[in-house]
Amino acid sequence: MGLVIRDNAESASSYVADYIVNRINSFSPTQTRPFVLGLPTGSSPLGIYKCLVEKYKAGLVSFENVITFNMDEYVALPPTHPQSYASFMHDNFFSQVNIPPQNTNLLNGLAPDLAAECSRYEAKIAAAGGIDLFLAGLGEDGHLAFNEPGSSLASRTRVVVLAEDTILANSRFFDDDVNKVPQLALTVGVKTVLEAREVLMIVLGAKKARALKKCVEGGVSSMWTGSALQMHERATVICDEEAAGELKWKTVKYFKSVERRESGHNHGSDQSLPIKKGLGTPPTKLKTAPGPLTPESTPKATAAHSSSSPISPLTQTVPILLTTNVEPAQSSVHTALEQKILAQPVPKSHGLLGLLGTSSYGHTSDGDSEAESEYDLKPDRMASRLTDPVFAAEALRRLTPNPEKGKMLG
């Protein structure tokens, strides 16, 4: 599951609208091959619908060959009621774009047989070829569509009893009177949403922050049905800064870094890393390749490290990853640093081994140096993997015990 964070609700809504328009246009729908779009209701998608209408009027998208399926509808509320989801969709979207009325699908909360209505809806989604992109919202208690806490993650379209938190939250649309809010609703199931080829979930406002945290950072749970999107291979959550307010900083940092990388690379076969600036001009690139990094497969040191250098042995033992010469000004700086490092006293035992006492490694208590030869101290073998000549020189100066010849501590 991906996460996209925008500064505010307007920019988050604009991002989603742009994405939907790009998906429809890239799909190039026709009458015989329509694009199937799942849609939510409520306050969160209002900005998205406004942007989509603006883009339609600007000639950037057509909904003529788009089929829509809405997520839910209240039971026993006439379609003409101002708070029915049928009225909501007509007023905020359908009546302002060129989508044919026969292409819009909504659940019928007045159906005499509600179970049969739900089965019919599922069959109609299947007959349309499934949903290409489902746009969803997230409830304050973490519900996806009207799949309240405790709903089965394998659920299909069905009748549900609305939770008290949902009734209270939706009472703002019913003159803040909870008694006017319907107690039952029809909703697509969690599995119905997960079967869509792609899912976007819009989450806005500080009131959704706790639910977003549970759905993104918590485990998959039927108590937070929005968390089921973690199991979808093409699900993305788009939120504003307020909704992201309870996420861990590491979570926010990670997903923002992912977005930067995805926008900055074309994901082609050339997966390359730039060489650190200042270690050679012009800059070159090192291409990643399968297999371990070995001296045989790595370029040797360049002429900048010839036999006259104080650390000339590096040309034989350290694979330097520079492919261009170091400029004279830089070379003199490195040489001075190398000389300073090599002039320091050489330690006779590894720092960690010093914790065992000087009689164990390096020197004996009476000054006998026999222990030093018995434990066969060797230059640090990790030096051959270092790419910076200065660091390599420091590594070669350190002596560590050779595990193949050293004595076992008893």
Tell me which residues are annotated as active site: 72, 141, 143, 148
201 forms bridges with which residues in the sheet? 136, 237
Q: Are 334 and 302 spatial neighbours (Cβ–Cβ below 8 Å)?
A: no
- In which residue are the tokens 């922050």 written? 209
CA distance 357 to 237: 57
CA distance 173 to 163: 16
What lies within 8 Å, CB to CB, of 209 at 6+ separation is: 242, 243, 244, 245, 246, 247
Identity (one letter) of the amino acid at 312?
Answer: S
CA distance 203 to 92: 19
What lies within 8 Å, CB to CB, of 165 at 6+ separation is: 139, 140, 141
Q: Are 182 and 162 spatial neighbours (Cβ–Cβ below 8 Å)?
A: yes
